Amino acid sequence: MPVSAALLSLTEDPRFWTGDGATTDPPDDPDDVRELRVTFPVTGGYALILDLIPATGERALGLRGPASSEPVQLGWAPPGGPFPAALRWWELDLCARVIALEDPTLPHPGLVVALLSPFAPATGDDDEPAGAAMREAAYRSVRRVVPPPGPAGPEQAPLPLFADAGWWPAPPVPSPQVIDEATIAGLTRPAGALLEVRTGSRFPREALADLVRKASARLDRVPREPWYAETRPLARQILDTGDLAPIPALLGALTEAGCDHPTVLDALSEPLVPLEAFWMVETLTGAAPGTLLRRHL
């Protein structure tokens, strides 16, 4: 499981996403700065490596190849940025989809996109509306577990004078959303300046290109797998019409065909999140990422 408990705890701190300061108090000993490494296996032996120093807010993104034990750095960023354009948006989107498919503990690509999105700022070559919609959905997918509210009211029947519910207000229920809508809008706004790192002599261009080729091939194989091939016509109907009403039928057909992949089933289950359903329908049909999303924008 690439997403550790330590990282999940960090993602529930709004400061981690906004860069408004370190997510933990500075250590008394400068040497006591713990680095958190998160490994996202993609495909073909490649992995994206995210290194975080919670005490300082520094982070770096690396690429580890199939014959390597250590990653080659794609980009480094200080607390709050500016972040380097280490990945193109479509490369991140592609890798996040494959990562989610390969890891059943990830219900959809949202968390990967949210974590790595700062290293893939929008450029003039990107489909900005589609990219912004995907980023917004990714940040909204970052949620905390909120325990159910405890019982409100007296342990025994109150006197008639105090029986009104106003005397026993229910305790406030915290929002499960870690980042509010105003913050999400700020995070998805195009970057004012890009730090171009891909032209550097040490940037692993060939390895990244090989990863992208293998990730594309992995997505292309999905529709031909037995339990997906039988349901492809229904998924194609949803893609062609843009109508999500048949999604429950698609979910049922997948289940009957023997599909038990948690990521696939979760993306199509209630409560339905359109962006999550979009990426799965696109994957099941072999359509280019963003095809169904653009139809709805």
**Spatial separation of the C-alpha atoms in residues 109 and 95, rounded to whole Å:** 9
Residues 128 and 242 in one domain: no
Among 131, 162, 188, residue at a domain's last position:
188
For residue 283, the model assigns a pLDDT of 92
Is residue 151 assigned to a domain?
A: no
For residue 127, the model assigns a pLDDT of 80
Residues 39 and 139 in one domain: yes
Q: 73 has which bridge partners?
A: 62
How many domains does one find in the chain?
Answer: 2
Among 164, 188, 212, residue at a domain's last position:
188
Residues 137 and 259 in one domain: no
Residues 19 and 136 in one domain: yes
Residues 139 and 233 in one domain: no
**pTM (whole model) above 0.85:** no
Q: Output the tens digit of pLDDT for each of the chain's 297 residues.
A: 457 788 888 888 888 888 765 555 544 544 444 789 999 999 999 999 999 998 888 999 999 999 888 999 999 988 877 889 999 999 999 999 999 988 877 767 888 999 999 899 887 777 888 888 888 888 988 888 777 766 666 667 767 766 676 776 777 777 888 999 999 988 888 776 678 899 888 999 999 999 999 999 999 998 888 888 889 999 999 999 999 999 999 999 999 999 888 888 988 999 888 888 998 999 999 998 888 888 877
For residue 27, the model assigns a pLDDT of 47
Which one, of 215, 280, 169, 189, lies nearest residue 42 by Cα? 215
- In what side-by-side order are the strands of the sheet with 47-53? 36-41, 47-53, 58-64, 72-77
What mean pLDDT is reported for the chain? Answer: 85
Is residue 292 assigned to a domain?
A: yes
Give the domain range for residue 21. 5-25+33-143+183-188
Is residue 84 assigned to a domain?
A: yes
For residue 129, the model assigns a pLDDT of 83
Residues 129 and 237 in one domain: no
Q: What 3-state DSSP class applies to 234?
A: helix
Residues 109 and 19 in one domain: yes
* CA-angle at 267, arms to 262 and 270, nearest 5°: 105
Is residue 87 assigned to a domain?
A: yes
Residues 123 and 238 in one domain: no
Is residue 215 assigned to a domain?
A: no
The DSSP code sequence of 98-153 is HHHHH-TT-SSTHHHHHHHGGGS---TTS-HHHHHHHHHHHHHT-B---PPPPP-S
Residues 15 and 127 in one domain: yes
Is residue 210 assigned to a domain?
A: no
For residue 188, the model assigns a pLDDT of 86
Residues 117 and 243 in one domain: no
Residues 11 and 122 in one domain: yes
